[in-house]
Amino acid sequence: MQQERCMLQRHAEPGICIRCRTSAPGGIMKKYVCPLCGYIYDPGEGDPDEGIEPGTPFAELPDAWCCPICGAAKDEFFAQE
Ligand SMILES: [Zn+2]
């Protein structure tokens, strides 16, 4: 079975790339949901409007980051299962 290449091609080897970890079981790259408006932060997409690069885990967002739709604070978000 052929291994897939890293989707963002940031790393030569599959499995170490942050995007690859997104889909890995138990990966740190969960999506987070805004409880107020339903906006979903997808680490694979980041938040380009706020200068957040694709591949940024929710945990690594700046504390000042907030929901781009409704302005909810970062710590109001919950992990999507
Ligand atoms: Zn929101």
How many Å apart are CA 32 and CA 41, to the nearest integer?
5
pLDDT band at 2 (very low <50, low <70, confident <90, very high): very low
pLDDT score for 29: 77
In 3D space, the residue among 64, 72, 11, 8 whose CA is nearest the CA of residue 40 turns out to be: 72
Distance 58 CA to ligand 1 centre (A): 15
Distance 25 CA to ligand 1 centre (A): 27
Distance 43 CA to ligand 1 centre (A): 16
Determine which helix (DSSP H) or strand (DSSP E) holds 33, and give its type and residue range. Answer: strand 32-33
pLDDT score for 30: 85
Q: Note the pLDDT tens digit of each residue in 4-45.
A: 555 555 555 545 555 555 555 555 678 999 999 999 999 989
- Asked whether residue 62 carries a pLDDT value surpassing 60, the answer given is yes
SS3 for 36?
Answer: coil
Which residues fall inside 5 Å of ion ligand 1, going by CB? 34, 36-37, 39, 67, 69-70, 72
